[in-house]
Structure 1
Amino acid sequence: MVTGEISLKIRQGFILIFLLVVALPILFFSIGKAYYSSLVEATENTLEAHLYSILAEVDFQEDGIGMPAVLLTPELNRLNSDTVAFIYLNEDKQWQSESAISKEILPNIMPLHAGETQFEKITYQDKDYWQLSFSVISEINNTSHNVAFYLLKDDLALRDMMLGFRHTLRDWLIIMAFAITVLLIIGFIWSARPLQRLDKEIIAIESGNSDEIKGTYPVELQKITQDLNLLLNSQQRQKDRYRASLSDLAHALKTPLAVLKSSPLATDADANEQLDRINVMIEHQLKRAATGGTDTWKKQTPIKPVVDSILNAMKKVYRDKDIHFIANVPNKSYFLGDKTDLMELIGNIIDNACKACDAIVQIEVIEKQNTSMHMLSIKISDDGPGIPEESIKLLTQRGARLDTYEKGHGVGMAIVNDLVQSYQGMLKISDSDLGGALFNVEFNYKQN
């Protein structure tokens, strides 16, 4: 659950970074376009200012148009300037600025109404220029003439300014992206620290090293930790009550049963058989009360220490039989459940195998897991006479009586069957390669 929250945080962080990667290029091009538009507008305003300066200095004479040798606008006096000016009289060129002498350029002549201004981008000999056109009507020799003023500015100057701006903008956006990414990473790590601590506490509970969540957490996680502790405490109290009630009931029945066993009623064979059956059932329930039962909160119980402990006990119990035990149990394999349940489950099967075998008992644990599932298989086999096919079917049949089989497969199998079913597992009984019976207990768990 907490791991899922951390994964959600990671996904959100990647989404923010992705949006940042998408947003910054859009921001780069948007700002660049806006800046270029402002440069064009500034160019138009500059050319208009130059136009007004020329209009103030133009002299309409009888023989044409006169202009001073040096204009008030410095850009029009320089030979290498990117700004040039022309004056046309009835579409004939009458004057050009000093800056146009060294340039091979002509304006785009167009018909204009008197007082009309036109600003546009033109191309002349594969070069781009911004042109401002203006037309007036003037009286020369008592005749009206159309006088057109053309001012041009090389677009290369705008592009150089634009290129420099883009380089500066790019550098600052890279710095900003790096800074935002670092802040996002720091913010994620900082916000994920309580989740990581909570995840470690939950893992400790699952592994059986702790019984509750004890850490102090932010307000956002306090409700979760309180609910988890309530769930754990409630489950433990319920399990304790179940064990106590079942144990009290079984012990309460053992006293009157002992009285009946010592009474004359026990001399009757049929009655004695039924008393023995009741005694077996009571022992069964006492063992069930001692087991943990399936936990809502499954703990990770290492399997190898449990198997080693059981085998040490079996070697002592069946010392006279000189059984050879073959155990193949990975060190890191674990059972998602209570340790007492695992001991009861494996212990009963191994005990039955020891009773039925001739000389060999083999235990093999196979564990497989991926991102979604954790599969556990516990195989216990012997070299005894095996179990008849009809008995195998009865052993695996739901609701069948499991306390009447010979060769050691007795009441313990009832406990095994109950435990396997309580953990949603599967018990398979077949013939082993050793010649006897093979008990295969399989569990499939969904990963958190």
Structure 2
Amino acid sequence: MVGNQVSLKIRQGFILVFLLIVAMPILFVSIGNAYRASLIEATQKTLEAHLYSIISEVEYTEQGVQMPRSILAPELNRVTSDTYAMIYSNNEQVWHSESALNVDFKPDLFNTETGTSDFRMVTFKGRKYWQLSLTGILSSLDETIEARFIVVKSNEGILRLMEGFKETSINWMLIMGVVITALMIIGFFWSSRPLHRLDKEIKAIESGDSTRIKGSYPIELQTIKADLNLLLDSQQRQKERYRASLSDLAHALKTPLAVLKSSPLAQDSDAQEQLDRINVMIEHQLKRAATGASDTWKKQTLIKPVAESIFNAMSKVYRDKNIEFSIDVNDKHFFLGDKTDLMELLGNLIDNACKACDGHVALTVKQVKKRLTLTIDDNGPGVPKEKRELLLQRGTRLDSYESGHGVGMAIVADLVNGYHGMLTISDSPLGGARFELEFDYQETT
């Protein structure tokens, strides 16, 4: 549960980082476009100021268009300037600024109405310029002419400013991206610390090292902590009641069972067999009561050591049969439950297989994610199909059959049901019976 929340936070963190990576370039492009638009607008206003300055200083006399030697706009007086001014009349240039003295540039003479200005980008000999033109009327005492005032600024200045802006923006964007990412990572790990602590406490409970959640947590997790502790307390109380009731019942049955076993009625072999079976069941339930029955919080029990221990014992018990034991399990396969219960499961099934086999018993373990499969095969006569369902029913045994399967099956069935598993019986590739146990921990963890 807590692990899922941590995984969710990790995914959310990656999504935020991804959005940041996507958003930063978009923000960069948007700011760049806005800055370029502001530079163009500033260029237009600058050219308008130069244009109106020229108009205010121009005079038209009998000698033609007259301008002062030095005009008010200093940019137009410098030879090295990238801003030029010209006056055209009848498509002929009648004046140009000092800055256009050594410049080979011919403006586009667009047709515009008198008094109307025109601002646009023009291209001359592969280079781009911003051009502002205005058509006006100049008059002297005897004559009136139409004049076109043109102010031009090279686009290279804007490009240089844009390059500088881009370089600065990229540097700051990178710095901001690193800082924001670092802050997000620090914030994520800081905010997920309580979840990690809670996850560790839950794992300690699962492993049996603790019985309650004791840590101090933020208010958001206080409700989860209280609910989990209530669940643990309720489970403990139920376990104690189950243990006490089971122990009392088993002890109550042992006395009358002992009397029955010593009575003349028990001399009958069938009766003695049933009494022995009852005694085995009582001993098993007493042992389960002593070990605390089954727990909701189960620890991981490695399967290989338990299986090897059982096979070692069976090789001694059935030494006369010279059984070949095969085991296919790796060191990481685990059973999510009590070690005693695992020994009961494997011990009963392997013991049955040894009784029924003709010299070969095999155990195969497969674990994919949280699905565990335990398979016990033998090369005996097998279990008849019509008896398989009957064998899985509580209280049924097949000891009277030559196969020998069925001893302890009630114990196995109880444990499998207690762990929400599934037991199936089928034909084995070895020629005998196959007992397959399946446990799906997805639903129990």
Tell me which of 424, 428, 435 is aligned to 1:427. Answer: 424
For the Cα contact (< 8 Å) 2:398–2:406, is it kept in 1? yes
Q: Which residue in the other structure is 2:411 paired with?
A: 415
Tell me the secondary structure at the aligned position of residue 332 of structure 2: coil
- Which whole-Å deviations, capped at 9, do the CAs of 1:230-261 have from their partners, x for residues lacking one? 32332233233223212312322333344455
| Contact 1:257/1:279 (<8 A) preserved | no
* Mapped contact 2:311–2:325 kept (Cα < 8 A): no
Deviation at 1:150, TM superposition (A): 1.0
1:393 aligns with 2:388: yes
Distance 1:94 1:393, change over 3 A: same
In the alignment, does 2:297 pair up with 1:297?
Answer: yes
Give 3-state SS (helix, strand or coil) of 2:103's partner: coil
1:136, 1:146 within 8 Å by CA — same for their partners in 2?
A: yes
2:371 alignment counterpart: 374
The aligned counterpart of 2:163 is: 163
Question: Per-residue deviation at 1:335?
Answer: 0.6
Residues 353/411 of structure 1: CA separation in 2 closer, same or farther (3 Å cut): closer
Q: CA deviation at 1:62?
A: 2.2
What SS does structure 1 have at the residue aligned with 2:374? strand
Tell me what 2:325 maps to.
Answer: 326
Q: Map Cα deviations across residues 386-417 of structure 1 (whole Å, 9 max, x no partner).
A: 44525752554445722653565454122112
Displacement, 1:68?
Answer: 1.8
Q: Displacement of 1:337 after TM fit? A: 1.7
Matched-pair contact (CA < 8 Å) for 1:429–1:439: yes
The one of 420, 430, 446 aligned to 2:442: 446
Aligned length: 438
Q: Kindly tell me: are residues 307 and 232 of structure 1, through their superposed partners in 2, closer, same or farther at Cα, counting changes over 3 Å?
A: farther
What residue in structure 2 maps to residue 23 of structure 1?
A: 23
- Distance in 2, matches of 1:411 and 1:234, equals 35
- Do the aligned residues in 1 keep the contact of 2:423 with 2:438 (CA within 8 Å)? yes
Displacement of 1:33 in angstroms is 1.0
| Pairwise CA distance, 1:356 | 4.9
User: Aligned partners of 2:335, 2:266: CA distance in 1, in Å?
Assistant: 47
**1:396 and 1:427 in contact (8 A); partners too:** no
Q: 1:5 to 1:422 in 2, by over 3 A?
A: same
Aligned to 1:65: 65
Q: Read off the aligned partner of 2:412 and give its amino acid letter.
A: V
The residue aligned with 1:99 is: 99
| Counterpart residue identity of residue 132, structure 1 | L
Asked whether the 8 Å contact 2:121–2:128 carries over to 1, the reply is: yes
Instruction: Please give the secondary structure, in 2, of the residue aligned with 1:68.
Output: coil
Query: Equivalent pairs: percent with the same residue?
Result: 49
1:229 aligns with 2:229: yes
Partner of 2:397: 402
**TM-score computed with the length of structure 1 as normaliser:** 0.85
Alignment map for 1:48-63 (pairs within 5 Å): 48-63=48-63
Q: C-alpha distance in 2, partners of 1:357/1:214?
A: 52
In 2, the alpha carbon distance for the partners of 1:243 and 1:286 equals 14
Rounded Cα–Cα distance in structure 2 between residues aligned with 1:279 and 1:368: 37
Tell me the distance in 2 between the aligned counterparts of 1:268 and 1:363.
38
Deviation of 1:160 (Å): 1.5
2:114 is the counterpart of 1:126: no
Task: Check 1:299–1:392 CA distance in 2 against 1; reply closer, same or farther (3 A cut).
Answer: farther
Is 1:154 aligned to residue 151 of structure 2? no
* Letter in structure 2 aligned against 1:187: G
**SS of alignment partner, residue 121 of structure 1:** strand
Work out the CA distance in 2 between the residues paired with 1:310 and 1:212. 34
Q: Quick one: distance in 1 between partners of 2:302 and 2:293?
A: 17
Does the C-alpha gap of structure 1 residues 173 and 431 become closer, same or farther in structure 2, counting only changes over 3 Å?
Answer: closer
Letter in 1 for 2:171: D
Contact 1:51–1:149, Cα closer than 8 Å, also in 2: yes
Q: Distance in 2 between matches of 1:236 and 1:282?
A: 28
Distance 1:308 1:11, change over 3 A: same
Distance 1:277 1:429, change over 3 A: same
Q: Which amino acid aligns with 1:393?
A: R
2:395/2:410 contact within 8 Å kept: no
Q: Which amino acid aligns with 2:307?
A: V
TM-score when scaled to structure 2?
0.85
Write out per-residue CA displacement over residues 14-42 of structure 1, whole angstroms, 9 at most, x where no aligned residue.
Answer: 11111111111111111111111111111
